[in-house]
């Protein structure tokens, strides 16, 4: 039975609910700011409150796997529940795992997060291409088969990123070669007039790097996950300056800016919908 590609689902969710991805990041300071103990039970209360507030309200929820893994098997079981509950509610998920490896190990990561029957399956995952874009092929192939998506790191917002991402390889920056690979993998979707299912991660705080490195995000036909909104310093207006003509492809990510409105479900939901509305105005073509 044919599957609907992730890019098509994402485009519909962004148009219907606004171009906002809320990061579900239960780190210690945020959990404790809700008056909860930083333990598995506290993180469970935090995470399930977020699921209740955000399901059906935003385009995408992005759980950060590390904040669940830190609690061992119990944390992983909770992550499985969060993904299942969001899936049952019809809300798209991006699991932030930033995996990147080679050969059979990369295939195992792909099976774990993109396989149809895996309890850890998400609608999309983040990947690191810095062992070479071609090393991601097992995940790229499986995502295409299962209708899932990928977001590949290209220009990240951390200060160390440029040491690798801006470095030149044969006259092209490493980041630009990553975008070249994504562009090729999204070519068939472009022919069909659809948004590609292989996305890019480009920080909202990277300044003029996209233009300076000669990167054409529009031609990549990719969704662009843009972290850095709010607590990391980027404003909605910064998105217009960073992404230019690729604005309709941008899915802005915010975590602390939205989640600090908890633990009240209604207040959390209101913060998310207000942020999504603001982004819709800024990112409108």
What are the residues whose beta carbons fall under 8 Å from the beta carbon of 24, sequence distance 6 or more? 47, 50, 51, 54, 61, 62, 63, 64, 82, 255, 259
Q: How far is Cα 272 from Cα 86, in angstroms, rounded to an integer?
A: 16
Give every CB contact of residue 237 below 8 A, 6+ residues apart in sequence.
282
Output the CA torsion sign for 52, 54, 59, 60: negative
% helix, strand, coil for the chain, step of 5: 50, 15, 30
Which residues, other chains included, contact 270 with Cβ-Cβ below 8 Å and sequence gap of 6+? 261
Angle of the 265-283 helix axis to the 40-54 helix axis, nearest 10? 50
The 3-state secondary structure of 224-255 reads EEECCECCCCECHHHHHHHHHHHHHHEEEEEC
Given 27, 98, 166, 256, the catalytic residue: 98
Active-site annotation holds for 98 = yes
**Residues labelled catalytic:** 98
């Amino acid at each position: 039975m044919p599957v609907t590609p992730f890019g098509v689902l994402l485009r519909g969710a962004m148009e219907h609910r606004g171009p906002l991805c809320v990061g579900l990041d239960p780190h210690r300071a945020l959990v404790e700011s809700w008056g909860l103990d930083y333990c598995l039970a506290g993180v469970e209360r935090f995470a399930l409150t977020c699921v209740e507030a955000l399901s059906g309200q935003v385009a995408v929820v992005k759980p950060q796997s590390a904040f669940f893994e830190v609690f061992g098997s119990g944390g992983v079981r909770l992550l499985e529940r969060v993904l299942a509950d969001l899936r049952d509610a019809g809300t798209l998920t991006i699991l932030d795992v930033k995996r990147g490896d080679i050969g059979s190990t990369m295939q195992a990561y792909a099976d774990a997060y993109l396989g149809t029957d895996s309890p850890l399956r998400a609608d999309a995952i983040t990947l690191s291409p810095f062992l070479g874009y071609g090393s991601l092929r097992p995940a790229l192939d499986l995502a295409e088969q299962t209708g899932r998506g990928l977001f590949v790191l290209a220009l990240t917002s951390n200060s160390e990123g440029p040491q690798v991402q801006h470095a030149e390889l044969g006259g092209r920056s490493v980041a630009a070669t990553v975008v070249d690979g994504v562009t090729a993998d999204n070519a068939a979707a472009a022919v069909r007039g659809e948004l590609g299912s292989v996305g890019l991660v480009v920080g909202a705080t990277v300044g003029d790097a996209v233009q300076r490195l000669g990167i054409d995000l529009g031609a990549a036909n990719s969704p662009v996950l843009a972290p850095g909104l709010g607590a990391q310093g980027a404003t909605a207006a910064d998105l217009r300056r960073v992404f230019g003509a690729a604005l309709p492809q941008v899915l802005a990510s915010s975590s602390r800016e939205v989640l600090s409105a908890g633990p009240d479900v209604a207040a959390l939901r209101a913060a998310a919908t207000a942020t999504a509305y603001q982004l819709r105005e800024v990112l409108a073509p």
